[in-house]
Amino acid sequence: VNTMNDLQQLEELDKKHFLHPTSPIKQQQESGPSFIFKEGRGIFLEDYKGNVVIDGMSSLWNVNIGHGREELAEVAAEQMKKLAFSSCFATYSNEPAIRLAAKLAQLAPGDLTTTFFTSGGSEANDTAYKLARHYWILKGEPEKKKIISRTKSYHGVSMGATSATGLKPFRDFSSSIAPDFLHVDHFNTDALREKILIEGPETIAAFIAEPVQGAGGVHIAPDHYFKEIRDICDFYNILFITDEVITGFGRTGEWFGMNHYGVTPDMMCFAKGVTSGYAQLGGVMLSEKLHRDFSNFSSGTLLHGYTYSGHPMACAVALKNIEIIERENLVHQAKEAGEWLRKGMKWIQSERKIVGNVRSLGLMGAVEIKNAGEANSKGANPKSPLIVNEAAKRGLICRSVVFDHQDTLVFAPPLTIQKEEIEKMIAILNDAIKSIE
């Protein structure tokens, strides 16, 4: 793209040929793309018009180490030149996948020692549900197949992951929910107990939860919640799965969200931050016991595998990404930066009268706009989408959450963000809110 003409052409091609994921189709058709990004550096993205914006969401909560890391480009190129792809089905393997699985075993909580690789978070979730059901088949309890998840949860868009997702509009979109997926109120352990008893524990395979709910509006569980969940799952013989797709790899100021709660699940889904978005990778980690049981009880083939499970280039990128997180101490940095973010959000709360609660854990933050429920019931439009537009004009990308009568702004900047950069983010946000107050 060299001229305004080239850019206009690109916008027209976008409108005509590119159906965007999770996007307002009509608006996309009418106004075209709001940004066509050209390059990224650190916490910044630049588009073809020369706009430079702070990526306050780490794009999709995933660019943990920031944009423009040449080391990752180099490692990807090296691996592609050597071995771009080979199969991991059956007994074939490759070095980056093996080394990454071993590294993840070192980093993950408790005895999560074995990894099944996917290309992203939805596939990781579907894998976890299928492995949970298969586990109970192997154990001679095939009727244990229901999956329980929570309201306000987001687990992805493949059929299983959508069915588990608690945000109803995602399920209604394709008027379908796979059989045997159930939902309970997000922080209510009694509701889970009740649901288990009503359905019968002998019918339930697994319970899944995000350590901090991300897309649903950054909801942080009370301190005791996950210990109780672990106890309930143990008592009723139900597998406990955590979805660390957003919370993994330093986002909350710990390596994994569950580190805050001192609880180890039976399976842990991850994606996003494992490569900081530099390659498509996700996976499910299994506890040592689960892995042992799988090998002891299974006599046939594990009939679940994606072509790209254990992709050598993606795994090599993940290893380098993790090396950078360790070398630059980014998990600790996220904790510290999280404190600045929290302070900044509190300041906005004191300055702007339409701001209600603010909450955060590490570098996941949320600012609520007051009276969302009331406004919605009167048919008024939520304000957070307007604020997102105003913030973008002023150089900050953030997201609005309006599901379940919420009117909330959420943030998740790269873990590399510096104090002055957070101050800039906060100043832009304050101006954006002020402009629509």
Closest by alpha carbon to 181, among 139, 125, 136?
125
Cα separation, 177 vs 171, whole angstroms: 6
Q: How many residues bind ligand PLP (CB under 6 A)?
A: 16
Subset of 189-228 contacting ligand PLP (CB under 6 A): 210, 214-215
Cα separation, 74 vs 91, whole angstroms: 29
Side by side, the strands of the sheet bearing 52-55 are 37-41, 44-47, 52-55, 396-397
Q: Which stretch binds ligand PLP (CB under 6 A): 83-91, 118-126, 301-309, 384-392?
A: 118-126
Indicate the residue whose CB is closest to ligand PLP: 121
Residue 155 near ligand PLP by CB under 6 A: yes
Cα separation, 200 vs 180, whole angstroms: 12
20 versus 332: smaller Cβ distance to ligand PLP: 20
Subset of 312-351 contacting ligand PLP (CB under 6 A): none
Residue 261 burial (C-beta neighbours within 10 Å; 0-12, 13-18, 19+) = buried
Cα separation, 85 vs 311, whole angstroms: 6
**Selected binder of ligand PLP within 63, 128, 245, 426 (CB under 6 A):** 245
Q: Which stretch binds ligand PLP (CB under 6 A): 132-140, 242-250, 330-338, 378-386?
A: 242-250
218 versus 428: smaller Cβ distance to ligand PLP: 218
Q: 209 near 175, Cβ under 8 Å?
A: no
Subset of 14-73 contacting ligand PLP (CB under 6 A): 60
**Rounded to the nearest whole angstrom, what is the least distance from the CB of residue 162 to ligand PLP in the complex?**
10
Residue 154 near ligand PLP by CB under 6 A: yes
**Rounded to the nearest whole angstrom, what is the least distance from the CB of residue 161 to ligand PLP in the complex?**
6
What are the beta bridge partners of residue 258?
none
Residues 6+ apart with CB under 8 A from 123: 156, 158, 282, 306
Question: What letter represents residue 287's amino acid?
Answer: S
Return the residue matching tokens 């969302």: 372
79 versus 275: smaller Cβ distance to ligand PLP: 275
Residue 127 near ligand PLP by CB under 6 A: no
Instruction: Give me the residues that bind ligand PLP (CB under 6 A), please.
Output: 60, 120-122, 125, 154-156, 210, 214-215, 243, 245-246, 271, 282
